[in-house]
Amino acid sequence: MKDRVVVVTGASSGIGAALAEILTGAGASVALVARRERELAAVAAKCGPSALAIPADVTKRSDVARALETALTRFGHLDVWVNNAGRGMSRMVSELTDDDLDEMMRINVKSILYGMQAVLPHFRERGTGHIINVSSMLGRVPFAGIRAGYSASKHAMNSLTANMRMELAGAYPGIHVTAVHPGVVATEFGNHSLHGGMDSRTFPGAQSAEEVARVIADTIEKPRADVYTRPEGQKVIVAYYAAEDMAEAEKKFGPLPRP
């Protein structure tokens, strides 16, 4: 990890902030990107002189481009770009409005696309690099109908991630593209969900942000395409898609209580 330079979006709290601390503790330099300037500065201060805070809104392509240039000006090059920024939402499919779906795609899909497209020319020029997109188990299976719009956006993110990986595989084998799939994480994510949400920190067995961040840090050291932050995660996915009748498989998920 020493001497690597990593951009982390959504770095003002939660997984992003925890990842920044782990990376700088291991000798990396980090560019921390988020909208909340005060919180971002506090995370950067905890990380020390090898951290750079870049206030920016990653749902704006121009802000992402500026964040890239700011990081390159400070560090000279980038090794990893972690698209971690995102937001949840609480509404069933039957309740979704145009604005709901547009908001989920703007925050959870377009921001990831902007990040990948912004950093790609730099990685191509160097012939090496690593894009990591933080997705969700809900981007694979319908655990929670109340998260339908969020789940749909993460499915879209997964598709873009896989297609980017396949696009680069032949000509740029040194550029890795990874999707990371956490389950419930004990952060303020639920509280900040559009239309309200249950406090993710109250869910039994929720992973800590630090635990998820350690999985991401390990993925930087040992790149792989698809990563589940819990060992049983992939088994759940395989079992669901291998089911002879998905409707029967879905019954065991049960409904997530409304906020």
Please give the positions annotated as active site: 150
Q: Token pair for residue 53?
A: 């805070």
3-class secondary structure, 204: coil
Let me know the angle formed at the C-alpha of 112 by 127 and 255, rounded to the nearest 5 degrees. 135
The Cα–Cα gap between 92 and 243 comes to 24
Starting at the edge strand found earlier in the chain, the sheet holding 51-55 runs 51-55, 29-34, 5-9, 80-83, 129-134, 175-181, 226-228
**Amino acid found at 125:** E
Q: In 76-138, where do the E strands start and end?
A: 80-83, 129-134
Q: How buried is 126 (Cβ within 10 angstroms: 0-12 exposed, 13-18 middle, 19+ buried)?
A: middle
Q: Token pair for residue 122?
A: 């730099």
CB 7 within 8 A of CB 30: yes
For the CA atoms of 232, 237, 243, 248, the dihedral, rounded to the nearest 10 degrees, stands at: 90
How many CB atoms neighbour CB 52 within 10 A? 20
